[in-house]
Structure 1
Amino acid sequence: MDKRFATPKSMKKVILRVIRTTLLQFGSATKVELSKRLGISFPTVSKVVAQMERDGEVYVVGLDDSSGGRRAKRYAFNPEHMLGLAVFLEENETVYAVFNCVGEVKEQGTRPSVFQDGLHLLIELVQDILLEFPKISSMAIGVPGAVDNGRIFHIPNYKSFHDFELKTYFENLFSIPIVVENDMNAAVLGFQKRSGREDKQSLVYLYSGKNGPGAGILINGDVVRGSTFFTGEISFMPLYDNQNFHQAMYQGRKNTKTRTIGEKHEIHAISRLMASLVAIINPHTVIFSKEEMDQIALNRIAIESTKYVPKEHLPELIVSDWKRDYLHGLQRLALDRMVTGIRLVDVLE
């Protein structure tokens, strides 16, 4: 008997996860190819794939040419077998998307902000979506605040969500794996995946939006979170003797609503921030939202930044679709959780 049949449940989940990942990555494979590529015995792969086929998770897409024996069946992953849900929370709206295992969006919509009337609106929204799409197997939630393993611990504008264990609460409520992520972390991840940038590049995504300045930082393909998950809270950076970055950006303004950046004090503040980023992490690219930055402002920032650091060290400055990047990043996080499969059949029992 193959010793793998006696492995712990965690190993069984790993085997299922790597088979799923391989089929999604390569499109299709035979049992022999899976066994060789993954270094897992053929009997184990055969048993797992047989169970996946019975569950509707994989299906036969054809037969390979014969090399003397029976023609091998070629399997592909059924992208509709499991669905994911991405939701992000903003001051004036809640945006959601339902998608399949290859990221194809099945439904996308906008609801009123849950920040206005409390958590029950978010619960009702998720309940409605799960009733309509019962195959949803994972969910990612984005919030405009600092997050530590699913706990929102810094979200100044929304006190009812402060220090709230959103991940644990929702996992207990809906019995599916949940990812809770900071908005800018999700956005920089989404940009990197959507743009096809190399994993080894360092990226910084800057956005002010409706909740004040924030940044998502990605180095070598990994989101930088810091020792206390406070990375990216650039509002606190003391760029002047008596002002931090937030104060410098919003001097004379009554609110932080999204608008095109172009005032002289804004260009100066961002240029000082740019110099700090160059000196500390020297990023390849800094991304801004097209909602609040145009090419003229980017050119002014590039010129102003050279007062503090040599021109040859400045990153590429570009604009992107923040909402699209944000939602795509959440989709990637939910897809990762979907493939790892918390809600699994233990096929090797």
Structure 2
Amino acid sequence: MNESAAFAYLLDPGMLTRADLRKLTALSTPTISEVLRRLVGSGLVSVVGHNSGRPGPNAEVYSANPDAAWTVAISVRDIGASGAPSLAAAVCDLTGVVRGRVESRVDFLETDPVDALAAVVSRLRAETGAPASWIRQIQLGVAGSYDPRTETIHHVEVPGFGRSGLVPEIAARFGTRVDVDNDVNLAAVAERRRGVGQGADGFALLWLGQDGLGLAIDIGGALMRGARGGAGEIGYMPLYAPDSAHSKIALQDLVGGAAVLDLAREHGIPGATPPEVVSYAAARRADHPQFFSQLADRVSVGLAAVIAVLDPPLVVLAGEVAQAGGEALCDAVAGAMQRNEPLQAQIAVTTIDDDAVLLGALDAGLHSIREALLSAISDA
């Protein structure tokens, strides 16, 4: 426990002397000396300099060894007709510094997922010069729900990723720990650490993606995943009465990428992808008020269900469509909620302008490997 406490401080903020650690941990000088001897001997901590600003001998400055464990984050995307990279990957060291980042297009009808992931990790290693032994954690983000009991990914449209036994195969190929999570959950991890979710008691993140929809539920920093990892699969929510003569539709049919494109065509808005048409309309909002009004009305249908069940302190609109719409879409959705539903919610658009899924995967993977190292120290 002493080693675990000291190591936690050296991870954040790091760069501490023995005296600094003694004050922070309230441990005795002999105990701190023994703790540091063991941490340095294990390779988790290094002497990175000397503090000459005090009387007497220069004090050694300690920090976590950044190369003791690296985390690889991989975002797997169902690119549909968008032409975007189907794999995005990044690697960070134990201190959280990103060492490399790559993107790749893969035809998963012809390439096995394990081989595709191995290829992208090889590219990261070649770019950074990292030996395989440094990579101790792989965090995978997928547009689907992961059931950790069966180690199976459900509701995933990318070929090969739903097959039984895939995750153990990936772990066996790399010989390291592999965690899997829903892509929108990982976007919420990034939002909690880097975006408008910082400091919030909790929030619901509604993902308006280029192709699909998703929902992440953050309760005080903990994500609700459900019994089988399916919490947040809001795109499947039916929007019809069982005895209705109308055909069955789901929320995906109302607000998904194809529906956004169809709505844009009805209003004469040009663009080849959902983010393009929404961005165009946002820049010319005065010329297309009905487009935003109708799109916001549709979004409010999904939000009404979320707010009625969860009553979150904050709703965050995220994903490529939300980013393209920005404040124009956020204002329209807030207006639609006031107009259509007797429910109140604070609504904000994400402030993350990078790949939120990949950033969240890095954050989640780094947290996981740090916890594993701390646990191993405590058990030793």
TM-score normalized by the length of structure 2:
0.74
Q: Secondary structure at the match of 1:102?
A: coil
Please state if 1:304 is matched with 2:310: no
Per-residue deviation, 1:184? 0.3
What are the equivalent positions in structure 2 for 1:92-107 lying under 5 Å apart?
A: 92=79, 93-107=86-100
Aligned to 2:284: none
Q: Which moved more, 1:223-232 or 1:78-87?
A: 78-87
State the Cα deviation string for residues 66-89 of structure 1 (Å, max 9, x = none). 79x877544222334433211111
Aligned to 2:320: 291
Aligned to 1:148: 147
d(CA) in 2 for partners of 1:124, 1:167: 16
Per-residue deviation, 1:96? 0.9
1:272 and 1:88, CA in 2 relative to 1: closer, same or farther beyond 3 A? same
Q: Secondary structure at the match of 1:46?
A: helix
Aligned to 1:336: 367
Per-residue deviation, 1:143? 0.8
Q: Which moved more, 1:86-95 or 1:115-124?
A: 115-124
Amino acid at match of 2:75: F
1:188 and 1:219, CA in 2 relative to 1: closer, same or farther beyond 3 A? same
1:348 and 1:284, CA in 2 relative to 1: closer, same or farther beyond 3 A? closer
d(CA) in 2 for partners of 1:319, 1:276: 20
User: Please, which of 119, 125, 128 is the counterpart of residue 120 of structure 2?
Assistant: 125
d(CA) in 2 for partners of 1:303, 1:340: 43
User: Please, which of 41, 47, 55 is the counterpart of residue 59 of structure 1?
Assistant: 47
Aligned to 2:286: none
Q: Which moved more, 1:334-343 or 1:213-222?
A: 334-343
Aligned to 1:25: 12
Verify the 8 A CA contact 2:317 2:347 in the aligned structure 1. no
Please state if 1:316 is matched with 2:316: no
d(CA) in 1 for partners of 2:256, 2:53: 67
Aligned to 2:254: 248
Q: Secondary structure at the match of 1:85?
A: strand
Q: Secondary structure at the match of 1:306?
A: helix
Equivalenced residue count is: 334
1:19 and 1:167, CA in 2 relative to 1: closer, same or farther beyond 3 A? farther
Aligned to 2:70: 83
Amino acid at match of 2:253: Q
Amino acid at match of 1:276: A
User: Please, which of 109, 112, 115 is the counterpart of residue 102 of structure 2?
Assistant: 109
Per-residue deviation, 1:229? 1.7
Amino acid at match of 2:102: G
Per-residue deviation, 1:186? 0.3
Amino acid at match of 1:324: D
Q: Secondary structure at the match of 2:62?
A: strand
- Provide the aligned C-alpha RMSD in A: 3.5
Verify the 8 A CA contact 2:293 2:336 in the aligned structure 1. no
Please state if 1:34 is matched with 2:21: yes
Aligned to 1:162: 162
1:348 and 1:142, CA in 2 relative to 1: closer, same or farther beyond 3 A? closer
Per-residue deviation, 1:346? 7.1
Per-residue deviation, 1:146? 0.4
What are the equivalent positions in structure 2 for 1:200-239 lying under 5 Å apart?
A: 200-239=200-239
Verify the 8 A CA contact 2:195 2:351 in the aligned structure 1. no
Unaligned runs of 5+ in 2: 80-85, 242-247, 263-272, 279-290
Verify the 8 A CA contact 1:79 1:102 in the aligned structure 2. yes
- More helix, by proportion: 2
Per-residue deviation, 1:247? 2.3
Please state if 1:326 is matched with 2:323: no
Per-residue deviation, 1:325? 2.0
Aligned to 1:138: 137
d(CA) in 2 for partners of 1:220, 1:252: 34
Q: Secondary structure at the match of 2:232?
A: coil
Q: Secondary structure at the match of 1:106?
A: strand
Amino acid at match of 2:45: E
Q: Which moved more, 1:263-272 or 1:37-46?
A: 37-46
Per-residue deviation, 1:64? 7.6
Verify the 8 A CA contact 1:190 1:326 in the aligned structure 2. yes
Verify the 8 A CA contact 1:212 1:235 in the aligned structure 2. yes
d(CA) in 1 for partners of 2:187, 2:118: 24
Aligned to 1:5: none
Unaligned runs of 5+ in 1: 1-13
